Amino acid sequence: MTPFSWQRAVIKIGSALISPDGSGCSAEYLLSIAKFVTASRLQGKEVILVSSGSVAAGRSSIKTGLQASIAEKQAMAAIGQTQMMANWARLFDFPCAQILLTLDDLHDRRRYVNVKNTLRELLANQALPIVNENDTVAVDEIKVGDNDNLAAHTAIVAQADTLIICTDVNGLYDADPRKHPEASLISKVHSITPQISSLAGGAGSSVGTGGMVTKLEAAQKCCTSGVQTLLVNGKDSSVFDYLSQGLCPGTLFSPTKTKRSARHQWLSHTVKSKGKLSIDLGAYSALNKHGASLLPVGVTQVSGIFRSNDAVDIMFEGKLVAKGISLYSHTELASIKGLNSNRIAPVLGFSHGEEVIHRDDLVLSREVVKK
């Protein structure tokens, strides 16, 4: 087993642990998790839960056919969320705080900071934050979203040092153990290479919406932000005894050392790009070799519809080279692309600054995690 240490952890619990039979809540697998959380807090450590299961918890309360509609799933989530929170609350003798998020809450910088401040205040007051997607309104999240990636975003915004993903498998194997009984558990992953990514199969649970693919995506997001990630079997109570001893009985993904600011982490991992800017060779060299800002003279083409302060991808010869926050909208940039900065005010009648994207609001493509 791989030793590890931590101080602030986000623990993600999948639907298969919350609702083993796919309908209603159960404490069958949660008691050992709750015991671990309580013991860790007594040691002065901080814990945030990201809990799936609201749709599964409310499933039996909504009449539906073989294939539930989006509206029916939203109704299940509305009923199931209260049941899921009550299920957690009865396992602890300290306050549990409900936080419902969509990715839009994290894409918006102001709301992102508000989430960060709320989590910090809850932890300071000894409450246990329990995060879930707001499935009653987030249609896209119900259709294609997953709490593995939400847990990764939560770990980054909370400035945690550890993400623990509790699922119904022992960890990452070198082959699918369901098809290859001789498959070996990979106890430590130093880097998520294409070869490691190829080991991910499809979703293994009919209850949840995430599979091994999303767990590796979550690990990638966290590790590139300096957050170690553990993938463990939450159905095995002995797992939490090992975790309490500082041992990972599953797979530990090592973090990459990083000195990037919280703003750069947000820009790299969370915010969605609304458009694209193509640049010339001079601008490409300035960004990569000299750490410069992007000026309008280096922009050759503008695509997409975006406003001032929206994120955009920066392209060179058809390849993504950077991502940043544009000071100008797509229509404004269309008017000033290729021009020297001293022409901005005469052409537009105003100026937001001489840069299209300031260096402080720009990350190079090697720092950008794909969604």
Q: Whats the size of the chain, residue-wise?
A: 371
d(CA 269, CA 371): 8
Task: Output the pLDDT for position 260.
Answer: 58
* Domain covering 2-264 in this structure, CATH number: 3.40.1160.10
The pLDDT tens digits for 57-111 are 888 888 887 788 888 888 988 898 899 899 999 999 999 999 998 877 887 777 8
Per-residue pLDDT reduced to its tens digit, 222-247: 998 889 999 999 999 999 999 999 99
Long-range contacts of 70-77 (CB under 8 A, 24+ apart): 70/139, 70/142, 70/143, 73/135, 73/142, 74/135, 74/136, 74/137, 74/139, 74/142, 77/135, 77/136, 77/142
Give the C-alpha distances (Å, rounded to integers) separating 83 from 35, 56, 88. Answer: 20, 10, 9
Q: What is the pLDDT of residue 147?
A: 86
Q: Provide φ and ψ at 128, rounded to 5°.
A: -100, 105
Lowest-confidence range among 175-179, 200-204, 238-242? 200-204
Check if the beta carbon of residue 47 is closer than 8 Å to that of residue 6: no
Top-level class of domain 272-367: mainly beta
* pLDDT tens, position by position, 8-30: 999 999 888 988 877 778 888 99
pLDDT confidence tier of residue 298, bands split at 50, 70 and 90: very high
Q: What pLDDT does 257 receive?
A: 67
What are the sequence ranges of the domains in the chain? Answer: 2-264, 272-367
- Between 300 and 361, the more confident residue is 300
pLDDT of residue 366: 61
